[in-house]
Structure 1
Amino acid sequence: MQEKPIQPSTEPLINYFNSLIPLNNEESQLVRELFKSRLYRKKQYVLQENDICNQFNFVVRGCLRMYKVDEKGNTHIIQFASENWWMVDIGSFHQKKSSDLSIDALEDTMVLQISYENLIKLYTSAPKFDRIFRVLIENSFVTLQNRLLQNISSTAEERYLSFMETYSHLSNRLPQTQIASFLGITPEFLSKLKSKIIKTKS
């Protein structure tokens, strides 16, 4: 069962937007009105496969993962999102179709969420947000495109080093099984890979 919405400060999100494009008082108030907070406990679903993704999520604290479980029961992690990152199944969210993906919390995680209807309201009330979210989606597309390219052309070691560059702040917060799943290797191989890199640097 999902937690009932609670209302902590939206200031982390307002500060995030201000770091991109400064907001005026009216725009900041729109953020306070249209974004709703929710706490997800560790292992709790934000989105389950076959459901529609109804919320665009900004992580205030904690960590989410987006993943797919294949027919053999193997978990393929597509993305992690921790503090000041976004998480959404963009296709399901915009097209209102069932998702092939799941999102859950790897830690107790506080998010600020906006529905599709309120996002459109945000765009029409303050066009500045249309530009902000366009940049967010473009950056996400580039990241996923680079990740796809890595998966088909990079070695496991190169993928691990890229992971450490992108998610260095999570390396000590995530179990090795989660990191290995993201990289598409076994935890045992990841352990050997890390040992090899340490020996190379020593």
Structure 2
Amino acid sequence: MKVKKRQFIIQPTFPANHRNYVVSGALRAYVVGEEGSEHTISFAVEDWWITDYNSYIYQQPATMFVVALEDSVVLQIDYEHEQILKQTNHRFESLFRQMAERGLAFQQRRLIANLTLSAEERYDHFLQHYPQIARRVPQYALASYLGMTTEFLSKIRNNKVRKKS
């Protein structure tokens, strides 16, 4: 499925009927707080998956938005067909189990980093592990993912430039 930049593939109140594999492009999952501010939950680029997993698995209304940050191409699988694949082909069962395990480990590392690292350390860690994403996503989205304001991220980036000179 082709997705245009700024096009939503998941929106709150509608169930997330598909798990989305990114063939090309970049997507962002985020929630909007009661005060109206956006909080980035995740990004997905080539060879990554993205959806509102709670909505997808339990077929409940989504609580997050998933939007294309660039023109993108995604492949989609619905929950029922995913289950059939897992039941009829052990390779798919193993693949999806490994993806779930890696996803849980990643979320645990992210939670620990958010609790134990300074804002600058979180930014450095992100740059070290995901430089290709840092170059492709808007600064406001990266800032909210890292748990800081755009202005504070800008200060961190400016300080790094000054230190290099």
1:145 and 2:146 equivalent? no
Looking at structure 1, the residues matched to 140 and 161 of structure 2 have their Cα atoms a distance apart, in angstroms, of 19
Specify the alignment match of 2:25 in structure 1. 62
Q: Deviations over 1:108-150 (max 9, x none)?
A: 1100110111111211221111011101011111111221222
Correspondence for 1:168: 131
Q: Which stretch has the larger CA shift, 43-52 or 161-170?
A: 161-170
Equivalent position to 2:122, from 159, 170, 186: 159
8 Å contact from structure 2 (residues 8, 65) kept in 1: yes
Give the RMSD, CA atoms, in angstroms: 1.4
Where 2:12 maps in the other structure, the secondary structure is: coil
Determine whether 1:116 maps to 2:79. Answer: yes
Counterpart of 1:182? 145
Whole-Å separation in 1 of the counterparts to 2:13 and 2:118? 33
Q: Which amino acid aligns with 1:165?
A: Q
Aligned 8 A contact 2:10 2:51 in 1: no
Count of aligned pairs: 165
Runs of 4+ that moved beyond 3 A: 198-202
1:172 deviates by: 2.0
Q: CA deviation at 1:59?
A: 0.2
By how many angstroms is 1:200 displaced? 3.5
Partner in structure 2 of residue 191 of structure 1: 154
Mapped to 2, the partners of 1:92 and 1:43 lie a distance apart of: 21
> What residue ranges of structure 1 are gaps of 5+ in the alignment?
1-37
Determine the C-alpha separation between the residues in 2 that align with 1:129 and 1:180: 35
1:16-36 deviation digits (Å, cap 9, x = unpaired): xxxxxxxxxxxxxxxxxxxxx
Three-state SS of the structure 2 residue aligned to 1:196 is: helix
- Residues 1:48 and 2:14 aligned together: no
Q: What letter corresponds to residue 187 of structure 1 in structure 2?
A: T
Structure 1 residues 164-196: Cα deviation after superposition (integer angstroms, max 9, x where no partner): 123211222222112112112122211210122
Q: CA deviation at 1:87?
A: 0.5
**Within 5 Å, which residues of 2 pair with 1:7-86?**
38-86=1-49
CA distance in 1, matches of 2:14, 2:104: 22
Find the aligned partners of 1:107 and 1:177 in 2 and give their Cα distance: 15
Q: CA deviation at 1:201?
A: 4.4
Whole-Å separation in 2 of the counterparts to 1:191 and 1:91: 33
Q: Which piece of structure 1 moves more, 189-198 or 125-134?
A: 189-198
TM-score (norm 2): 0.93
Matched residue SS, 2:151: helix
Aligned to 1:13: none
Question: Which segments of 5 or more consecutive residues in structure 2 lack a partner in the other structure?
Answer: none
- 1:197 deviates by 2.4
